Amino acid sequence: MGPIPNHIAFIMDGNRRYAKKQGMEEGAGHKAGFLALMKILCYCYELGVKYLTVYAFSIENFKRKPEEVQCLMDLMLEKIGELLKEESVVNQYGIRLYFIGNLKLLSEPVRVAAEKAMAATAKNTKTVLLICVAYTSYDEIVHAVQESCKDKRNEIEALYASKVSNGVTEGVEEGENINGTIEHDVQGSCESSLSKSQALNTTRACNGVIRVEKKKGVILHAVQGSCEDKWDEVMSRTSNGVTEGVADSKKKQWMHPTIKLVDIEKNMYMGVAPDPDILIRTSGENRLSNFLLWQTTNCPLYSPSALWPEIGLWHLIWAVLNFQQSHYYFEKKRKQL
Amino acid sequence: MICLLTLPPVPLELKSPLSFRTRAQQQQHSHPFSQTLRSHTVPHKTLTGGGTATTTVANVALSEHNDLNAAEEDEPLPAELNEELMPNHVAVIMDGNGRWAKQRGLPTSAGHQAGSRSLRELVEICCKWGIRVLTVFAFSYDNWIRPKVEVDFLMNLFEREIKSQMQKFVSEGIRISVIGDSSKLPQSLQKLISEAEEKTKDNSRFQLIVAASYSGKYDIVQACKSLACKVKDGVIQLEDISESLVEQELETNCTEYPYPDLLIRTSGELRVSNFLLWQLAYTEFFFVKELWPDFGKAEFVEALISFQQRQRRYGARLS
């Protein structure tokens, strides 16, 4: 007996095929799929699996027939409402809900319901259910990349603000809060001999408010507001004792600080949970379909041929047993290294 | 012991000619997301031996492969395979060399030697059967923690292999590309790789991409850094960062077909292990229990048969 996986992810594939197989109408397949989800949620809770992530609706799925998309949206709205009821399994099991994806792509009622559900269950701590809707890994990664760039930009701005203040001696005039551009004759030893007049030019280039504060006898300049467009110019002019041309110092400044893997990871929608230990895709298909590409790179993919509404406890136990065997093998290998 | 599921055969009634992206469609739209499936039927052709490729559908793929006909006579496409449904880009995680050696009481290096033989054979078959790109996971960024003896042996093996195969690459129109953090590779290997890439850069019959010191996550991080630089330089705006811009910055931008159609992993492991990450979004996986040195033509045919049976929908739905 080995460890229980902390996080299992499911690609819930096969609802429509199930409906066809049972001679039901298409919408009924998705309803059966929801029941299967509740079943799996209970099993996971009983087994002690803390996180459960499911692929409910991909951004690519918006390309389906409008009737099917609408049917799925209506089902989501209906089921979110049910889950929030007092007697629902969510409250019974203390489940925290997350809706992961580009929620802006959802229709207003669904997005509002999702946000309401997340807020209502925010204090639950026993199990976490992450429902990926309007999700693709591509969208998640692009969003994380954009946010990382924004973070770095802000970091550099803050870094500049503190760098300008370093090494400034009593030659500096005291600043005042004024609107519009101001010029400071920054004397004394700045970190770089280049930055003296350049800092001047920088402040001239800025159209926003320059707030000047006095902190511990040192002048701090904070470049705010519409200066964001000029932030890179600002950065290029602040150099760390580097005397090469502005172009080079521009590049060097950008390198410090530089974007790292952790920056991207912390901006992922799925940053609220650890990586899955197991990924299960039903209906026998053996591909990821743009689901959790980043998070599942080291976890096994199991592909039982059962359609999603047919999934049962046996499939879960089988996956957990395989995880335990594989875990034992990797632990052994790790110890050898 | 790892329990491995094999795919059940797809029932005939679920197969639809419209659901397959044929070689012709793949040629014209290498980016899967711009692909709209067309309703045209392509006469299926079974090659039992060498012969001139004829088809009623004009497509670039087949005309470019006419020069392969002579080669096909040595290695004809097996009857079970449909030439129209061959993948353009196959990716392989060559796992199991160490275990293969251990099973035989040999040192790990013997396993890697045997593995390089398997790779040479696969390159030949892919070339002959008209596959355009083969990407192989030779050495992961995560593998640097392995024992120094093994790592050094592998670096030497890469060098020896590139040197010994160079003439063949040139004469057979094979382009070699290496992706990954090459700064960690020995200087001599880095130099050899640059020379090999330069010498073969205009070859267009087949491309072998070797992922060495590669990590799918770091590929995305470096793409992100490139994009950040472009934003900083004012070349693009932050809001312009999109899926296609990310794709263009990934290391697989060295090929016309950056997304593998089929990924094969040997030795029974059911995971991607930080191989191509972004590029595998819609790739069909085929997990094989054989160890890499035991992977040959028969196993490859099995993988291709499985691939050709699959319905690829890319998130949409086909009635």
- The model's pLDDT over B231-248, given as tens digits with 9 standing for 90+, comes to 888 899 999 999 999 999
pLDDT at position A175, please? Answer: 38
Residue B311: its pLDDT value, please?
74
Q: In whole angstroms, what is the distance from residue A97 CA to residue A91 CA?
A: 11
CB contact under 8 A, B228 and A303: no
Q: Residue A261, exposed/middle/buried by CB under 10 A (0-12, 13-18, 19+)?
A: middle
- Over residues B95-104, the mean pLDDT reads 96
Q: What is the mean pLDDT of residues A231-255?
A: 41
**Alpha-carbon dihedral of residues B130, B315, A264, A143, nearest 10 degrees?**
120
Chain B, nearest residue to A13 by Cα: B315
B235 touches chain A (CB under 8 A): no
A330 touches chain B (CB under 8 A): no
* pLDDT tops 70 at residue B158: yes
Lookup result for tokens 């997990």? B287
Of A120-129, A328-337, B105-114, B266-275, which gets the smallest average pLDDT?
A328-337
**One-letter identity of residue A106:** L
Q: Is the full-model pTM beyond 0.95?
A: no
B156 confidence band (pLDDT: 50, 70, 90): very high
The predicted pLDDT at position B316 comes to 67
Catalytic residue ranges of B: 95
Q: Report chain B's terminal Cα–Cα distance, integer Å.
A: 40
Of B2, B232, B234, the CB nearest to A325: B2
Given a cut of 90, whether residue A332 has pLDDT beyond it is no
Higher pLDDT, B103 or B19: B103
Q: For residues A235 and A255, give the distance between their C-alpha atoms in angstroms, rounded to a whole number.
A: 11
* Average per-residue pLDDT for chain B: 81
**Residue B28 or A319, more confident:** A319
Torsional class of B141: left (φ above 0), alpha (ψ -120 to 50), beta (otherwise): alpha
Residue that is written with structure tokens 């026993």 in the block: A126
Q: Alpha-carbon distance A74 to A80, whole Å?
A: 10
Residue B202: φ, ψ to 5°: -95, 0
Three-class HEC string of A202-213: HHHHCCCCEEEE
Chain B nearest-CA residue for A259: B225
pLDDT confidence tier of residue A211, bands split at 50, 70 and 90: very low
Measuring CA to CA, how many Å separate A337 from each of A327, B96, B143, B157?
Answer: 15, 16, 11, 22
What's the whole-number mean pLDDT along residues A80-89?
Answer: 83
Alpha carbons A178 and A189: distance in angstroms, whole number: 25
Q: What is the DSSP letter of B301?
A: H
Alpha-carbon gap, residue A303 to A242, rounded angstroms: 56
* Spatial contact of A86 and A120, defined as CB atoms under 8 Å apart: no
SS3 for B3?
Answer: coil
3-class secondary-structure state, position A221: strand
Q: Is A151 a catalytic residue?
A: no
Cβ contacts (< 8 Å) between B234 and chain A: which residues? 232
| Reported ipTM | 0.77
Which chain B positions have a beta carbon within 8 Å of A152's beta carbon? Answer: 228
What type of residue sits at position A114?
Answer: A
Q: Which of residues 122-151 of B touch A (CB under 8 A)?
A: 145-147
* A166 Cβ contact partners less than 8 Å away, ≥ 6 residues apart: A190, A191, A218
Helix, strand, or coil (residue A88): coil
Interface membership of B201 toward A (CB under 8 Å) = no
Q: Each residue of B115-145: pLDDT tens digit?
A: 999 999 999 999 999 999 999 999 999 999 9
